[in-house]
Amino acid sequence: MTEKIIHQKHVTENFITHIIDEDLASKKHKNIVTRFPPEPNGYLHIGHAKSICLNFGIAADYQGTCHLRFDDTNPEKESKEYAEAIQRDIKWLGFDWQENKFHASDYFEQLYGFAEQLINKGLAYVDDQSAEDMRENRGDFNRPGINSPFRGRTADENLVLFKAMRAGEFADGAKVLRAKIDMQSGNINMRDPVIYRIRRLHHINTGDEWCIYPMYDFTHCLSDALEGITHSLCTLEFEDHRPLYDWVIDNVDIECHPQQIEFSRLNVSYTITSKRRLAQLVEQGNVDGWDDPRMSTISGLRRRGYPPAAIRDFVKQVGISKKNSVISMTILEDVIRNHLNQTSPRVMGVLHPLKVVIENYPDDQVEMLTGANHPQDESFGTREIPFSREIYVEQSDYKENANRKFFRLTEGREVRLRHAYYITCREAIKDATGNVIELRCTYDPESRGGTEDGRKVKGTIHWISAAHAEPVEVRLYDRLFNHPNPASMENFMDAVNPNSLEILPNAMLEPGIAAQEADVVYQFERNAYFKRDKTHEKDKPVFNQVVTMRDSWAKLEQQ
């Protein structure tokens, strides 16, 4: 289901909007056209959310158009599964490309024609060198490149060879087509980059029609131009590729010349935003697939219970700049927490049940109490909560020989049950090993809603009627990595947090909650925010912890 976006402005004012404003004022453009060009070689992650919100958001703010274009030029790693997941993620975030879905493969024939144009102009040649020789002869930042011995081939020779490449007359890797630019350039991207290579691989859209495939730097700029993109928004790592972007467009016969503009990536602490590394986590079984709730993928965030509106707000809060930085995970979690605090109905869930017998409450009596679904918002309404002689409370709400600063259950101390009565702990029942397995308490039947004598208790705890409790499995998630920058480590897998998932198989929940709509995120009062996850369910409902009530990592990040 696509969520409708209600923000008046999707993108806050930034250097890109200033450029667009100037272009519109000068009549350089009448309409704004952007694009989001993912490679279908993995699932999208939180970093992509910034690009999605920027490209689709700018198009919406300027009443323009944003294209979804799959950069499907590397069939070895691409799949329809990834393409379908990308489309789901974009729509879930609240955006829609309408009829503007394209593929780089839609332009393969035109791209081939542009390559022939470069050959005929003496600006491209077929190279027979091995990949190792090309790499060596390309040089580096301290050493200029060396011309290929095949750089002097005539246009006619190159055209014959290039056509033979397309016809499948050469083995994979035997030859490549290179742009003829400048092997002495200080920008290594301009040192005769490869623009076509031979790869006999089945393509998800074109099947086995092609055995040569264009490279990204050749394909991307021309796809932008063919689609009439006005502003091609890329992350900063493509800044050094911009001269090549412009060179290709300038040297073929095409009218549109989009403007490439670079902005900083969205880097979040304690996360990985590399498809290759995310794939490694999946392949090695460190996580339960691409949509594992601990993953930084958009699918993982959705399954965990992050609201799309909160992710959009986070991206908007981070803003757009040209300076790389790392955003604290606590900022993202605070945005999620603040959003859920306003939108989540409250229920009672006991994660570590401890049985309580209220000895002076009638055995056969069941009382229906009323609880507010949201204490700060009456529009959420109320619900009926059954109360009976036996209830469950949290194990942590009892302490033997507790001091005065412990305001919950201990022998002789009175506490208030949320939405119910005052109870006093009389005795703790232990098993043979000394573990407390049951509490014997009494209740004050006149204390519902307060007492006539006006006495106050400092502790209020949540509970669930044992006879009506619904058994559920609860999954508590911590950060997948215990290092703030796992990508900086020699082996990022060393930073995987072995305690990132805790499964509580014996949790209890208010009756009727699990049967409600699965997309609802609930606040289990005093615990955390949770969302049902049917992916893992077998014999009982499963609830994922979305985010804790309070941040427990802030101090660690400041150290």
Segment 475-515, tens digit of pLDDT: 999 999 999 999 999 999 999 999 999 999 999 999 999 88
Please report the pLDDT score of residue 3 as a whole number.
47
322 tagged catalytic: no
pLDDT for residue 299: 97
- Report yes or no on 68 lying in a domain: no
The contacts found for 409-417 with CB under 8 angstroms, 24 or more apart, are: 409/439, 409/441, 409/459, 409/461, 413/459, 414/444, 414/457, 415/457, 415/459, 415/460, 415/461, 416/447, 416/457, 416/459, 416/460, 416/461, 417/391, 417/460, 417/461, 417/462, 417/463
Active site residue 265: yes
Confidence at residue 556, expressed as pLDDT on a 0 to 100 scale: 42
**Catalytic residue (one of 275, 312, 383, 475):** 275
In a domain, 73, yes or no: no
**Could you report the per-residue pLDDT of 52-69, keeping only the tens digit for each?**
999 999 999 999 999 999
397 located within any domain: yes
pLDDT for the residue 283: 96
Query: Does residue 355 belong to any structural domain of this protein?
Result: yes
- Active-site hit among 35, 39, 473, 525: 39
Q: Which of 77, 138, 151, 265 is catalytic?
A: 265
For residue 363, the domain's CATH number is: 2.40.240.10
Confidence (pLDDT) at 8: 59
The one-letter code for the residue type at 332 is L
**Active-site residue, 88 included:** no
Q: Is residue 429 part of a domain?
A: yes
| Range(s) of the domain holding residue 419 | 349-465
Q: Which residue has the tokens 């935003």?
A: 273
User: Is residue 199 a part of any domain in this protein?
Assistant: no
pLDDT of residue 515: 85
Residues of the chain with confidence (pLDDT) below 70? 1-8, 450-453, 518, 551-559
End-to-end CA distance of the chain: 42
Side-chain-side CA neighbours of residue 348 (13 Å): 29
Helix axes 216-227, 108-120, angle to 10 degrees: 110
333: in domain:
no
> At a CB cut-off of 8 Å and minimum separation 6, what does 401 contact?
410
Q: How many domains does the chain have?
A: 1
Within a domain: 77: no
pLDDT recorded at residue 551: 67
